[in-house]
Amino acid sequence: MTDDIYEPYERLVTVRYLGREVRVPQKNLLLRCFQFLEPMEIPYGDFCWNGDCHHCALTLMRDGVQLEALACQTAVREGDEIVEAGPEVRRALVGWSEG
């Protein structure tokens, strides 16, 4: 399954966002995965998509290690757990995450 805005992917992977399990396209940046969840908010959010603004900063648990990451620079991996997200990410995902 592909869509022009996503890197080609064959399946969805399971990750957790602030405690909630979600399925997002493999081989894609975390910020693009957020767009998959909230396609009407992320593109209009205050995101530079190139590592400059840090509005997409996250705390991520990956393979038992806590990492600080930028969602626009970090490809998703099965089992990722986003344990903290900055205000712009939370704002953009609030409709989805409260749904």
> Smaller CB distance to ligand FES: residue 25 or 47?
47
Residues 29, 21: contact at Cβ < 8 Å?
no
Report the C-alpha gap between 72 and 89 in whole angstroms. 11
32 touches ligand FES (CB under 6 A): no
By CB under 6 A, what part of segment 68-87 binds ligand FES?
70, 72
- In this chain, which of 22, 42, 55, 93 binds ligand FES, going by CB under 6 A? 55
- Region label for 34, one of left (φ > 0), alpha (ψ between -120 and 50) or beta (otherwise): alpha
Distance separating alpha carbons of residues 72 and 55, to the nearest angstrom: 9
47 binds ligand FES (CB under 6 A): yes
Tell me if 52 contacts ligand FES by CB under 6 A.
yes
| Residues at the contact surface with ligand FES, assessed by CB under 6 A | 47-49, 51-56, 70, 72
